[in-house]
Structure 1
Amino acid sequence: MHQTTRDFWNDRYRQKTGETSGKPGLVLSQFAGPLAPGRALEMGCGRGDDALWLARQGWQVTAVDVSAVALAYAADSASRAGLAGTVQFEEHDLAETFPEGMYDLVVVSFLQSPRDWPRARVLARAAGAVSTGGHLLITEHASHPPGSKATEGTIFPTAEETLASLALDPRQWRRLCVCAIARMGTRDEVQGETVEDNVIFMERLG
């Protein structure tokens, strides 16, 4: 029987608990921290740490994921933190449905799947949801993360390749950071080992 994307990720999250570090991703806190809060969209919110951090900074957050299991964990964390009113959780397979509206910040962190999935098309749609003067922040694996279930032969894009796949009009976007950075692995990877990520941080001009 064919397993849907939704079933695949629900199964993955059922193997986890709702317990998380409670900390935002380092790229998110570094690049979004200085921004004035407004409306934010997080695509692939998982168990909700980044969405809750944004809410604490004053953002009105729409957080989406394909997994109802992950969203239940995230909503429970938001409720316990007293942030339920500032985060709206929505279930979407982003290849099929997409949240409505325009946003001052669109965050896409590690939206990479071992399944066949139209990632470039989804990222381009994410860029289309950024309002004038807003920002797009994409973080992605640039190398095989320690502990990852991705096959060893997986080829990861460069930051420039990912940016090119979006086909953004350079007259309408300002490049703020398109680069690779190194960090230490998390407990979901292998703690203590170096991980390389790509960052694509763009400002929409018009």
Structure 2
Amino acid sequence: MAQNAEGPSAEELAARTPGEFWESLYRERVDDGAWGTRVNPVLAEVAAGLTAGAALDLACGAGGDSLWLAGHGWHVTAVDISPTAVERVAEAARGAEPAGTVTTESHDLTRTFPEGDFDLISAQYFHTPYDLPRSAILRAAAGALRPGGRLLVVDHASVAPWSWRLDRDPRFPTPGEVYAEMELPDAGWTVERAEARDRRATGPGGQTATVTDHILVVRRAGN
């Protein structure tokens, strides 16, 4: 979500907790009314084939996914570590009057996880410059699925020109590796999609580039 390619320095990261860092980013970010407010295309594609139910949007950011889901009849719990982010999503939802609902909660997912169970859980570009027990959080997300529910994980698989480049030679785990690291039981889970896909992306300054995403869809056994 950085506005420049270099991103925060190690000193800047060390000076703030993850919560302080992301809160500062959202407080200082100039809202152009577009960046982060559009639905991610893979989420729209996956959700379009499902019956609307209860959805959880992990690290909802500016809320584009949450608002799109609510507009299509889903009852969405939108969570982010930044109180400012979730306040803005709640305000946008009130103005949109969607067919579904949006409930917002602020969570540091390393410490707390939203209560409830869900038909769809979305983790879109769930990356951070801080250490994060990502596999444990995704495992908790899988455990919060209702029978027949789906966990959608979309990760960066390449570096866009406007991305943070904390590692000049980054390695991106494959969808299969992400699934394996979740360490789910052998029975009761189906990997419906595990693939790489190119797309044309638009950065915060309006610039465009072709980037690659990793896509993982995991379904819990049941109805």
TM-score calculated relative to the size of structure 2 = 0.86
d(CA) in 1 for partners of 2:181, 2:49: 27
Q: Provide the rounded CA distance (Å) in 1 between the counterparts of 2:147 and 2:156.
A: 28
Match of 1:20 among 34, 48, 52: 34
User: For each residue in 1:44-82, what CA deviation from the matched residue of structure 2 results, as whole angstroms up to 9, or x when unmatched?
Assistant: 000111001000111111010001121122122112112
Which residue does the alignment assign to 2:7? none
Q: Is the 8 A contact 1:146 1:195 kept in 2?
A: no
SS in 2 for 1:201: strand
Whether the 8 Å contact between 1:184 and 1:191 is mirrored in structure 2 is no
Q: Percent identity?
A: 39
Residue 205 (1) aligns with residue 221 (2): yes
Q: 2:175 touches 2:215 (CA, 8 Å); kept in 1?
A: yes
Q: Is the 8 A contact 1:183 1:194 kept in 2?
A: yes
Matched-pair contact (CA < 8 Å) for 2:76–2:100: no
The Cα shift of 1:189 comes to 7.7
Secondary structure of 1:112's aligned partner: coil
CA distance in 2, matches of 1:195, 1:189: 16
The equivalent of 2:87 in structure 1 is 72
Q: What pairs up with 1:53-202 in 2 under 5 angstroms?
A: 53-83=68-98, 86-151=101-166, 152-188=168-204, 191-202=207-218
Deviates more, 1:166-175 or 1:181-190: 181-190
For residues 89-124 of structure 1, give each alpha carbon's deviation from its aligned partner in whole angstroms, at most 9, with x where no partner exists: 000000001100110111110111111111111111
Q: Which runs of 5+ in 1 are unaligned?
A: none
Residue 32 of structure 1 deviates from its aligned partner by 1.2
For these two proteins, the number of residue pairs brought into alignment is: 206
Instruction: Spell out structure 1 runs of 4+ moving beyond 3 A.
Output: none
Q: Which amino acid aligns with 1:28?
A: L
Q: Secondary structure at the match of 1:181?
A: strand
Instruction: Please give the residue correspondences for 1:27-66 in structure 2 after superposition, counting only pairs within 5 Å.
Output: 27-66=42-81
Q: How far apart are the structure 2 equivalents of 1:41 and 1:126?
A: 9
Structure 2: segments with no counterpart, 5+ residues? 1-13
The amino acid that maps onto 1:204 is R
1:139–1:74 distance in 2 versus 1, CA, 3 Å: same
Q: Residue 97 of structure 1: SS of its match in structure 2?
A: coil
* RMSD value, Cα: 1.9
Segment of structure 1 superposing worse, 71-80 or 45-54? 71-80
Letter in 1 for 2:16: Q
State the Cα distance separating 1:9 from its structure 2 match: 0.6
Classify the secondary structure of the residue corresponding to 2:202.
Answer: coil
When the two structures are superposed, what TM-score results if normalisation uses the length of structure 1? 0.93
- CA distance in structure 1 between the partners assigned to 2:78 and 2:102 by the alignment: 7
